[in-house]
Structure 1
Amino acid sequence: MSKRYTGKLYDIPLPTNFSGMETSIVRLRSSSFWRRGANFSFFKIPHRVLPWPFVKRFDIIYENLGNLSSKYYDVTNYTFVTPVIGFLAYDARRSRENYGMVELNTMENHILIHFPPNNDYNKNMKCVRFVKNGTIEFSNVTMNNTCISRGQGHFAIVVPSLKPEEEKKGKWKWWVIGFGVGIVGLILLIVMGILIYKCVRLKKRGNMERQSGKSEALDDVWVGNSRMPSASGIRTQPVLENSYVP
């Protein structure tokens, strides 16, 4: 941290085998941290918080595990819907011999963890906190994909994993619904085709009747159960040629 400013966040370059992860660090004075708190990365730490054991300066290291989240953390029967993100505080005077991790005494205040927006909202979503001693804590997700904590660690949002039989049942349900919708659509298409055919026939028949009305009117005769047009017959009276009248 030599030649770096207190209170400014710096990115930490990582080896290529950690591609997809992001790490950054910020050094803070305990006195300023007590008055202002900290709002870096995805975390908002309130004021009136002190490191424990107390040190004059300390570093906060932020991590975003990205697509490597499931490689380092796992929650049985749950699936990650966000990457695992976390922060840990260290004594600024730490060395290889002295790891120097410190706790943050929030004194009933809450640390807010803001996750990126997620369109796949699920009412079963849960916040999960991975504590450094290996325990896992669950809590409810608040509005805007936010989790609340009273301590440091790593955090994520998870949903219950579907069991294989439930997943198959869900797929079968959608297949049945799709098949039913397809059958109904086919029936409607056939009915519409029949109606259109009848309308065309009725229109054509009407045109023919109007056309025949313009021509000479014919009488109708019934032959059995069929009605047929018939011209009226006019019998011509016989006239004798060269008739002789005595």
Structure 2
Amino acid sequence: MISFPSFLLISTILFTKIPPFTSQSSRFLDSILQDHAFRAFPHHRPKTGVIYDGNAPSNLTGTSVSALRLRTGSLRKRGFKGYKEFDIPKGIIENPYVKRVILVYQNLGNWSSVYYPLPGFFYLSPVVGLLAYNAVNLTGQDLPELDLRAPEDPILIKFESLSVLGNGSSPVCVFFDLFGGVAFDHVINGSFCSILTQGHVGIVVENSPAPAPARVPEDPIAGGGGGGGGRRGKGWWVGGSVAGGVLMAALVVVLVLWVRWCRGTRRMEKMRDAAERGVPLTVAAVGRAEVPVAMATRTKPVLETEYVT
């Protein structure tokens, strides 16, 4: 199996937290699958280090469960390679300490997005899980999980086949812990994920946003019996046109009145200037001097005696 330096893997774990998923249904599923996995052990002397495949519930077609019993000392010294998709390194510790541990494997198949919904992402692999239990009671139900951790090298998960989605997005690993937390990590060598504790893992890709549909202008005649959006838009357009026409007419009237007022003002100023200057008298030469003389009258005076014939 490919060996990765622990410091390199740990340094590349760039967790991006998102809001916790609804874990109530997934935790109930863990309890059911634990019971079905334990039923896979034979009643008489189950072997240590042997993988026993169990039968998933009939209403969860497509899922699979398995159980593996190990001595904790052996698990810590040697690890366990090839437990389905999981490669468990040496140095694994569990809390609280138990003499033997049972590792339950889950593969949720087409139920992955049902129990572990991830809005905005598409699953390229099924969600697989690894949970640890105390092996003291092989018939126990609703058992609490042990705290299983890898303080040295991480647990590697190899996904054999991935769905193909050609939208140009890069796949990422997603990890769901047992407390409702969700984190993302890099995919290693195209199909590997790594974890430091027990939980559920899958490979997802971000959904590309759908292009916005082209906006089709509404036909006011063929508006049909839909909503009143078109009628409201038409009303705003008509109202704006009327208001604009009224405003333009008012501006024209004001402009005409202003021009007339300017003309009248200029005419009054000319008349006022003429009145102030008076009527100029005609200048005529009388002897050697020039003196102003009045203009001749339009009607010559007639003596009264001239009226007498």
| TM norm structure 2 | 0.51
The equivalent residue for 2:90 is 47
Asked if structure 2 preserves the Cα contact closer than 8 Å seen for 1:37 and 1:47, the reply is yes
The equivalent residue for 1:224 is none
The equivalent residue for 1:103 is 147
The equivalent residue for 1:159 is 205
Q: C-alpha displacement at 1:102, in angstroms?
A: 0.6
The equivalent residue for 2:48 is 6
CA distance in 1, matches of 2:141, 2:187: 39
Alpha-carbon spacing, 1:97–1:44, altered in 2? closer, same or farther (3 Å): closer
Alpha-carbon spacing, 1:96–1:10, altered in 2? closer, same or farther (3 Å): closer
More strand by share: 1
Asked if structure 2 preserves the Cα contact closer than 8 Å seen for 1:93 and 1:100, the reply is no
Q: C-alpha displacement at 1:98, in angstroms?
A: 7.0
CA distance in 1, matches of 2:110, 2:119: 18
Alpha-carbon spacing, 1:144–1:159, altered in 2? closer, same or farther (3 Å): closer
In structure 2, what residue type is equivalent to 1:140?
H
Q: C-alpha displacement at 1:123, in angstroms?
A: 5.2
Give the superposed CA RMSD. Answer: 2.1
Asked if structure 2 preserves the Cα contact closer than 8 Å seen for 1:27 and 1:60, the reply is yes
Asked if structure 2 preserves the Cα contact closer than 8 Å seen for 1:21 and 1:68, the reply is yes
Q: C-alpha displacement at 1:119, in angstroms?
A: 6.6
Name the SS for the 1:28 alignment partner.
strand
In structure 1, what residue type is equivalent to 2:71?
R
CA distance in 1, matches of 2:108, 2:141: 26
Q: C-alpha displacement at 1:71, in angstroms?
A: 1.2
Asked if structure 1 preserves the Cα contact closer than 8 Å seen for 2:169 and 2:206, the reply is no
Asked if structure 2 preserves the Cα contact closer than 8 Å seen for 1:24 and 1:61, the reply is yes
Q: Percent identity?
A: 33
Moved over 3 A (4+): 94-98
Q: C-alpha displacement at 1:51, in angstroms?
A: 1.5
Q: C-alpha displacement at 1:147, in angstroms?
A: 0.5
Q: Would you say 1:19 and 2:71 are equivalent positions?
A: no
The equivalent residue for 1:60 is 103
Alpha-carbon spacing, 1:93–1:125, altered in 2? closer, same or farther (3 Å): same
Structure 1: which 5+ runs fail to align? 170-246
Q: Would you say 1:82 and 2:125 are equivalent positions?
A: yes
In structure 2, what residue type is equivalent to 1:53?
P
CA distance in 2, matches of 1:98, 1:19: 22
Name the SS for the 2:73 alignment partner.
helix
CA distance in 2, matches of 1:158, 1:165: 21
CA distance in 1, matches of 2:172, 2:52: 31
Structure 2: which 5+ runs fail to align? 1-40, 215-309
Q: Would you say 1:145 and 2:194 are equivalent positions?
A: no
Q: C-alpha displacement at 1:4, in angstroms?
A: 1.3
| TM norm structure 1 | 0.63
In structure 1, what residue type is equivalent to 2:148?
L
Q: Considering only CA atoms, is the larger Rg found in Structure 1 or Structure 2?
A: 2
Asked if structure 2 preserves the Cα contact closer than 8 Å seen for 1:128 and 1:158, the reply is yes
CA distance in 1, matches of 2:179, 2:132: 15
Asked if structure 2 preserves the Cα contact closer than 8 Å seen for 1:61 and 1:89, the reply is yes
The equivalent residue for 2:160 is 116
CA distance in 1, matches of 2:181, 2:62: 25
Alpha-carbon spacing, 1:22–1:142, altered in 2? closer, same or farther (3 Å): same
CA distance in 1, matches of 2:193, 2:124: 14
In structure 2, what residue type is equivalent to 1:115?
F
The equivalent residue for 2:178 is 132
